[in-house]
Amino acid sequence: MDFGKGTLEIIPSDAVHFSGDAGIAQIAYVQLYNNSDEYIAYKLKTNSPGEVGFEPASGILEPFKLKKIVVHCTLLSVQHEQQNKEWCTVVARLIPAGIEATKIYDKRKVWASSDYIEKMYRLEVRYDLDSCDILQPTSSSSHISGDMSAVETSKVSPGRVSNEYFTRQ
């Protein structure tokens, strides 16, 4: 299977930032941009699914398309003084050219198969509580751009290939 080169850009690149009062639902945004001519399947995960959620949490990015993801969070007042340990991960799989459209949009097949190269991007979740009276979506202005170039690979039991197969610019 011959893979091409693809780029996924994530904005913000370092952290998802929430500001407001504890106990009130907060929202922020993450933008994903597919800067390649191939499809990319994405999935967002968190270590605190009860506190941080995504809408939509997974999907398919068409070539040269932007997707805005809503990140929502409710921080409890008992956690207000604790150091935050939340993070989220964007998992992306480059789907090679030549795959039938019906297979591309069948998310179960894409994530169950070990034929696709996978890359993970980690974002911190930061809180700036009691800093504003009006709830406004905020996010960092930085962005990450990572090249995913894939090599021919055999099936791997957990469905992942180590990061040595990827190059970053």
d(C-alpha 19, C-alpha 21), whole Å: 7
97-134 pLDDT, tens per residue?
667 766 767 767 777 665 666 788 888 887 775 544 43
d(C-alpha 11, C-alpha 68), whole Å: 9
Identify the CA nearest to 14 among candidates 127, 92, 122.
122
Distances in whole angstroms, Cα of residue 20 to Cα of each of 12, 25, 83, 123, 153: 19, 9, 16, 20, 47
Identify the CA nearest to 60 among candidates 88, 117, 30, 101.
101
CATH class name, domain 5-165 = mainly beta
Per-residue pLDDT averaged across 164-168, rounded?
A: 39
> Domain map of the chain by residue range?
5-165
Per-residue pLDDT averaged across 63-68, rounded?
A: 92
Burial of 45 (0-12, 13-18, 19+ CB in 10 A): middle
d(C-alpha 143, C-alpha 156), whole Å: 31
Identify the CA nearest to 53 among candidates 31, 71, 75.
71
Per-residue pLDDT averaged across 41-67, rounded?
A: 88
Q: pLDDT class for 84, splitting at 50, 70, 90?
A: low
